[in-house]
Structure 1
């Protein structure tokens, strides 16, 4: 996978569904690139996080200063569920 914006241009993207408390991996998926066979609806970050919280799941994410509109929306939702801490 090529990441043009990063200093190290290549990396591996991995999605893991795991239970942190019991150290058990439920599901694992390595990203191998775009699939062009069928069009999918793109899920925005905010929609994905809300969907996870409905099922009492969490998401670890880095909130960047260069995307303040996303940061405010996500922080409000996470703060209500006491998942996100505002240190700023």
Structure 2
């Protein structure tokens, strides 16, 4: 998630830089190019923001489900399997190797 936020910050910075260039240039063609480029950076940033928001919702739902599973009195194999699935691991990956 940190990578997405860093990329988002970079897109916003690039957009602002393009806007600054478009406002300072006297060449109309150059102005148009940098305005379009700024709009492209803003669109990409908007798309990344949507991905971040979607992941935040999915993470919250996953966390609620994990809390429910961990709060059960019985620690059955089904609960362990469900927990490892929610964490993105197979049950075999979650077992530590025997010493």
Alignment TM class, shorter chain as reference: under 0.3
Q: Say which one has the larger Rg.
A: 2
More strand per residue: 1
Question: What is the TM-score with the length of structure 1 in the denominator?
Answer: 0.24
Q: Larger relative CO (CA 8 A, sep 6+): 1 or 2? A: 2
More helix per residue: 2
